[in-house]
Amino acid sequence: MLVREYVMLSFFTVTVIAALFKRMKNTKQVLLFFSYILLLGQGISFFSNLLIDRGYLAFPHRPYPKKFAFNIIYDYILLPIFSLLLIDWAFHKRKLPLATAIFTIFTVIQDLLIIRYTRLLRFKKWKLSYTLFGSIISFLLWFSFYKWLYRKFN
């Protein structure tokens, strides 16, 4: 069951990356994309490790369990790419409240589905209300960072 889940996640990730590269026009956009994904992945993994060390979350099944306490596929690929897509859309279409709502709803529903149907994530002291408020705050912070980075490159 876990192999099938990782194959599905990998296929989704490759599809999204291919779609993003098709949209990019110049090397500045590619550089912006990779720098944002790298920095966002670092931030997400830092907070994931913090929550795991404090006993709030657990990732029972993850790639390279001896090296990482968090799920590197989710923290470095899936969440940053989905965030970047929404942030880029919100930045260019000027629809920040709608994008924040979409991201928050997606994050909460995703956590519910992952916990209910897979064994990839386990809540210990964590509650869905933490996910709700944390996703709102983090999306707004990521949006501000993206705006700053976009202006810096252009």
Contact between residue 139 and residue 103 where contact means Cβ atoms under 8 Å apart: yes
Task: Please give the share of the chain, as a percent, with pLDDT higher than 90.
Answer: 0
Strand partners, 57: 123
Residue 29 has pLDDT above 70, yes or no: no
Instruction: Report the pLDDT averaged over residues 41-66.
Output: 82
Tell me which residue has tokens 């149907």.
117
Residue 98 has pLDDT above 80, yes or no: yes
Contact between residue 75 and residue 44 where contact means Cβ atoms under 8 Å apart: yes
pLDDT of residue 9: 58
* Distance, CA of 126 to CA of 116 (rounded, Å): 15
pLDDT of residue 25: 62
Q: What is the pTM of this model?
A: 0.70
